[in-house]
Chain A
């Protein structure tokens, strides 16, 4: 039962353009959403998060949008840079006492110079 889904396994974008990574979830109890970035042979690193009480959170070139009614969130990277090439994981946690985090399957982003 995949509660967090990233339906695009890969994405290629030209340098300077916008990258849009999508994520869908099924568990309505999720109230906190995160994006992690992972380079080869390294562990994931936290990128940006959003609470369910908001619909947008921005941090520099990275913006996350949340549509609760559609159970959908997206990560926008503007402008995209070659160093952004990595695997991006969407993750979500619920209201449980210790906020267990559930990850999606990841989207591999390639930014072409």
Chain B
């Protein structure tokens, strides 16, 4: 069974530039999550999709972050414009059921904003 795929693995941009991350969840997983993990902290949920609908985006900085999940499968997370404090690892996860027990994480994208 293929895992959660993410690209790119690493990205370096200057502040005020834009960046996009891509995630392909495990086939059949209805729930998709985007987490932000700042160095030394635990993952923080940015947005959660159930199929292609958003069920939680309470911690997504909507003035600069956006996310979509096309046809309930792949998802993209965009930051525009980026700030220095956006430097973090962005993790995508997916699950078949609602509870986090069966959530599978991708390897993450490490973003550095200079």
User: Smallest distance from the beta carbon of A44 to chain B beta carbons, Å?
Assistant: 5
Interface pair B98/A99, CB less than 8 Å apart: yes
Task: Give the residues in chain B near A93, CB-CB below 8 Å.
Answer: 99-100
Task: Give the residues in chain B near A89, CB-CB below 8 Å.
Answer: 42-43
Contact pattern, B 89-112, Cβ under 8 Å of A = 1, otherwise 0: 001010000111111111110000
> Considering the complex, which residues of chain B in the window 46-79 have a beta carbon less than 8 Å from any beta carbon of chain A?
48, 50, 55-56
In the complex, whether A101 has a CB less than 8 A from a CB of chain B is yes
In the complex, whether B16 has a CB less than 8 A from a CB of chain A is no
Interface pair B108/A43, CB less than 8 Å apart: yes
Distance, CA A113 to CA B99, complexed state (A): 36
Residues of B in contact, count (CB < 8 Å) = 27
Residue of B nearest to A104 (CB): B42
Interface pair A43/B100, CB less than 8 Å apart: no
Interface pair B105/A99, CB less than 8 Å apart: no
Distance, CA A43 to CA B4, complexed state (A): 10
Task: Specify which of B31, B100, B104 is in contact with A32 (CB 8 Å cutoff).
Answer: B100
Interface pair A99/B43, CB less than 8 Å apart: no
Interface pair A101/B45, CB less than 8 Å apart: yes
